[in-house]
Structure 1
Amino acid sequence: MIENFWKDKYPVGVAAEINPDQYPNIQAVLQQSCQRFADKPAFSNMGKTLTYGDIYKLSGDFAAYLQNHTDLQPGDRIAVQMPNILQYPIVVFGAIRAGLVVVNTNPLYTARELEHQFNDSGAKALVCLANMAHLAEQVVPKTGVRSIIVTEVGDMLPMFKRLIVNAVVKHVKKMVPAYKLPQSTSFLGALAKGRGQAVKEASPANGDVAVLQYTGGTTGVAKGAMLTHRNLVANMLQVRELMGANLNEGCEVVVAPLPLYHIYAFTFHCMAMMLIGAHNILITNPRDLPAVVNDLSRYRFTGFVGLNTLFVALSNFEGFRKLDFSSLKLTVSGGMALQQATAERWKAVTGCAVCEGFGMTETSPVATVNPFSAIRLGTIGIPVPSTLCRIVDDEGKVLELGETGEICVKGPQVMKGYWQRQEATDEILDAEGWLKTGDIGLIEPDGYLRIVDRKKDMILVSGFNVYPNELEDVLATLPGVLQCAAIGVPDEKSGEAIKVFVVVKPGESVTKEQVMAHMRANLTGYKVPKCVEFRDVLPTTNVGKILRRELRDEELKKAGAQ
């Protein structure tokens, strides 16, 4: 029944199915796109642009270096630890062409986190930015990493600008702590050694792992999701199918402010946008709003990929509001719940509606998305082609339309499993290929899905389920509120009580009384918070997702100390 339910839910012109075996591997897509769009811009950063032809040549040089000047073999893991700079796609595509498995690594990881990820993945090589090479010096001796390539921020810029940028970063901003890695090779040196040497193009099977993508680790030890060539090819085809009618091949200019090492940006910009020959504008530091605005002012961008926190920050920044949005026709939101007030504000500023999708590392990542021709705020859209969703209760029973339970997903983009963690894999992925998302939601009669909240974030107040997303959506509509979060805290009377955290917009004021009155006016009694705390900032992940877990842990420590 569920297979047939989705077939007629797609807009006219959108196929219900894609062929995940259309390409044998990622290399085939890369080669096709780089030939078709050879002269088209692929990635720009700091005023420098690389065409698709440039990316293919440079990634070939890097692949040749890996094959001829290291002892790495197909299937070996290579950790890639860089922000959004031009070196990133060169390294990733070069590594894949050489047959290696990419281990995306957060540049802001601590030494402890790096040691865990390198050892857990069995990484034998590391490409890192000089800014964090001092951590590599500490960590590498405790791991199996033997080949190290170090790059500097400005390495892909023209020579004079490169020297200035790298000198400023190192000596003026002092962003490169001293390090000693005598066994390392410079990125430019690696390219030079590989230049002119033949690449033995790897030909992995579509079921082979292409990327080990580690989960955020906010729920325990970070695990590596095994994403195969087929997983990633399927997801890029699924994304293209749902957006294809809105985008013109070889013509789109898409802003990439989210880190490429995160699966959301990785699949969208390095995979799906490659398929249509789009021009990706890499933003190295999205927190530096003046620099972001300066970068964007150079381009007539047509697409923007972000998340709620970033949309809020930009919409409230005067410089951003003055940009020319006349070409913007696509804004995609993912990574965290999109608040309705944020979506409305973004549209008022840019004139472009926000299209919200849903996914997770384990689904490569896109599982559902609002069709661009039929966006419905407050929902996560419909499953992407060749994908099924169902809602189950705590016992695994499949629920009816409109009933609330855990969202489960099945499709060709669902991961192979967790790297060397069969027990953890079995907990989330069943023998039929259904993946438990850990998100609570429902399916509406017309096929749109609505997330109520994360299963673990649910607050239980006197036996009533309260979902933080709803509280935050309401609180975000109160004038003067910049950011907010809601959690459950221990309470003798009700089991849990609701506490909200509020960040107020600069130059404005909000009182506890105003917050309480606003919540009482918009929510039933048991959903009204008992505590309000004002803060200057809220803890977030590196992609801007608010860490409710960290706030809960802080409250538990306070309760334990009393």
Structure 2
Amino acid sequence: MSEEAIYYPTYGEALTAHAAEMPDQIALRFGDRTTDYKTYDRHATQIANGLAAMGLSKGDRIAYFGKNSDRSVELAMGAARAGIVFIPIIWRLSPKEVDFILNDSGAKILFVEPEFAAQLPFEGETIQTDDSFDSWRDGQSDAPVTTEVGAQDALLQLYTSGTTGLPKGVVLSHHNGTNLRPLMKKHNIYWYCAERGETMIFAMPYGHIAGVGTALGAVLGGQELIIHREFDPALMIADTQKYQVAWIFIVPAALGIMLAHPDAANADFSSVKGLTYGASPIPLDMLKEGVERLKCDFAQLYGLTETFGTVISLSPGDHKPENVKGREHVMKSAGQPMPGVEVRILDEDLNPLPAGETGEVAIKSDCVMLGYWNRPEENAKAMIGDGWFRTGDAGMLDEEGYLYIQDRIKDMIISGGENVYPAEVESAVYGHPDIADIAVIGIPDEKWGEAVKAVVVAKPGSGLTEQDVIAYAKDNIAGFKCPKTVDFIDALPRNPSGKILRRELRAPYWEGKERAVN
């Protein structure tokens, strides 16, 4: 059987296969450190045995708090091999948010980068991912792991903010992530399944599915993963040239920053086969500039944490004006379903709507999560039977099967690729003694796609200022979730049942826009 057709039920099995067939191929590159597949495989086994020696067993959970590194990637694979659920936490979250996640998740051990260790209140055992981590890992047995791990076993637990303001743990299985690759190969979705040995840069935050998913996808396909601690436009440009990078995944805001960097003007991007982007649509002018500078294929990816990332894609062909002449509108879509993915548009009673009508986007796929951790009510709302999952996005399917995202039913804001829920921000800010009422909305922003705005009703005679509100928010939630601007009004618009009419608040800022997402 050819490599293209192989289905690896678990990530551990994929790593073992690559280690046996191309042991000397570089798997991980982080700064001056390189790790080949033979060593990567051994390290994953040692980490798995090390976790077992600490008393952990299949189904237990460990957390990681820090930025991207080769150690954090190896840790994920070691946990996967042991059947232990891996919980990477977004490092930009506030201590209060991280504390909630650690308590909710049931993590028994926290692995943390030294620079963050002092700020985390964790009662369990903590291991720092510095040189001492290497010593711990290398001191463990490299005997084969005896724990049986199957395709449907839990692999990841990623926390996504919720409409209630409390983060939810999205539990994903091995199969959620491994099932698509054979289908992608069969249907030549080449921009989503790089070849063995090809190079790709990993620079997106590890606590997101776009981050840890990229790292896991590389081991599934046998690629060389070039790891950046965080997005750095100069480093991305330099490494693309130095290591002849073939594939880049990035959010549009980061692409704009990279293209604007002085080093981009004379950079040699000739090795790049394709650039995939997600989290928000790409502005047409940025797309044109990107294609002109990089001269490679562009593809849009749409998905959610709950679907292990991509389930819809706008192909490279649909990014080329000559291919869509007379139907240029498809360039404004999220794309078409990937092989093995079904999409429906539902009305308020969860009945399917015909093409051309707007409703809630629902997905059916083997990529759909196992469920939310300890959230039975949330699961009942989202998982509606026969494998269908409600995304919370409002969209429309056209006659050709292209999906157009129109709005966000759950009011989510995407700023620079980060998800922000209004209810979470409102809950964090409402405690200010001078705030009588508050609503949070997303408004267009040229650099970040959307920016967070608070609309506040101040208590009479308080003298509350914009800076007061922003400073209070920063004490309670991560900086990227805090309002960038504040408007003061006399009363918030509400419907007869008392619900805030966010759409009415957003309307002036989105006037002239074709959709209420940016």
What range describes the TM-score normalised by the shorter chain of this pair? Answer: 0.7 to 0.9
CA shift for structure 1 position 200: 2.1
Aligned to 1:383: 337
User: Runs ≥4 in structure 1, deviation > 6 angstroms?
Assistant: 486-492, 556-560
Deviation at 1:356, TM superposition (A): 0.5
Q: Does the Cα contact within 8 Å between 1:149 and 1:190 map onto a contact in 2?
A: no
State the shift of 1:228 in Å.
1.2
Equivalent residue runs for 1:117-516 within 5 Å: 117-136=101-120, 139-141=121-123, 145-146=124-125, 148-152=126-130, 155=131, 186-194=132-140, 196-217=141-162, 220-237=165-182, 244-245=189-190, 249-271=195-217, 273-286=218-231, 288-375=232-319, 377-457=331-411, 472=444, 476=446, 482-483=447-448, 485=450
TM-score by length of 1: 0.70
Q: Could you tell me which amino acid in structure 1 is paired with residue 93 of structure 2? A: Y
Equivalent residue of 1:377, what SS? helix
The code of the aligned residue for 2:129 comes to T
Q: TM-score, normalised by structure 2?
A: 0.76
Q: CA deviation at 1:323?
A: 1.7
Shift of 1:324: 1.0
Tell whether the 8 Å contact from 2:42 to 2:142 is kept in structure 1 after alignment: no
What do the CA deviations read for 1:138-180 (whole angstroms, capped 9, x no partner)? x112xxx23x22123xx4xxxxxxxxxxxxxxxxxxxxxxxxx
Contact (CA 8 Å) 1:242, 1:372: kept in 2 or not? no
**Residue 435 of structure 1, CA deviation:** 1.0
CA distance in 1, matches of 2:272, 2:333: 22
1:543 Cα offset (Å) = 12
User: Structure 1 residues 377 and 42 mapped into 2: Cα distance closer, same or farther (>3 Å)?
Assistant: farther
Name which of 92, 97, 100 aligns with 1:116.
100
SS at match of 2:92: coil
Equivalent residue for 2:37, pick from 52, 55, 65: 52
Gaps of 5+ in 1: 1-14, 156-185, 460-467, 477-481, 493-538
1:457 and 1:487 in contact (8 A); partners too: no
Amino acid at match of 1:71: G
- The answer to whether the Cα contact below 8 Å between 1:63 and 1:199 also exists between their aligned partners in 2 is no
Is the contact made by 2:245 and 2:271 (CA closer than 8 Å) also made in structure 1?
yes
SS of 2:158's equivalent in the other structure is strand
1:235 and 1:364 in contact (8 A); partners too: no
Give deviations 1:379-399, integer Å, cap 9, x for gaps: 211111111001112232211
**Offset from partner CA, 1:179-200 (integer Å, 9 cap, x none):** xxxxxxx302211321x44242
Distance 1:304 1:243 in 2: 18
- The structural deviation recorded for 1:57 is 1.4
Distance (whole Å) between structure 1 residues aligned to residue 242 and residue 489 of structure 2: 48
Evaluate the alpha carbon distance shift between residue 448 and residue 58 of structure 1 in structure 2; reply closer, same or farther with a 3 A threshold. Answer: same
Deviation of 1:414 (Å)? 0.4
CA distance in 1, matches of 2:65, 2:254: 22
Residues 85/415 of structure 1: CA separation in 2 closer, same or farther (3 Å cut)? same
List gaps (5 residues or longer) in structure 2.
320-329, 414-440, 458-473, 493-518
Distance 1:270 1:338 in 2: 25
Q: 1:294 to 1:127 in 2, by over 3 A?
A: same
One-letter code of the match for 1:385?
P
What's the secondary structure of 2:311's corresponding residue? strand
Could you say which residue in structure 1 is the equivalent of 2:19?
Answer: 34
Identity rate of aligned residues, in percent? Answer: 25
Opposite residue 296 of structure 1, the aligned amino acid is T
Q: 1:140 to 1:455 in 2, by over 3 A?
A: same
Q: How many residues align structurally?
A: 434
- The answer as to whether partners of 1:243 and 1:371 remain within 8 angstroms in 2 is no
Distance 1:403 1:97 in 2: 45
Deviations 1:508-562 (A, max 9, x none): xxxxxxxxxxxxxxxxxxxxxxxxxxxxxxx9xx999x86x8458x4468978xx
Find the counterpart in structure 1 of residue 470 from structure 2.
none
CA contact (8 A) 1:224 1:418 kept: yes
CA RMSD of aligned residues (A): 3.3
- 1:326-363 deviation line (CA, Å, top 9, x unaligned): 11111111123322222222112211242101100100
Whole-angstrom CA distance in 1 between matches of 2:412 and 2:223: 39
- Change in 2 beyond 3 A, CA 1:219/1:49: farther
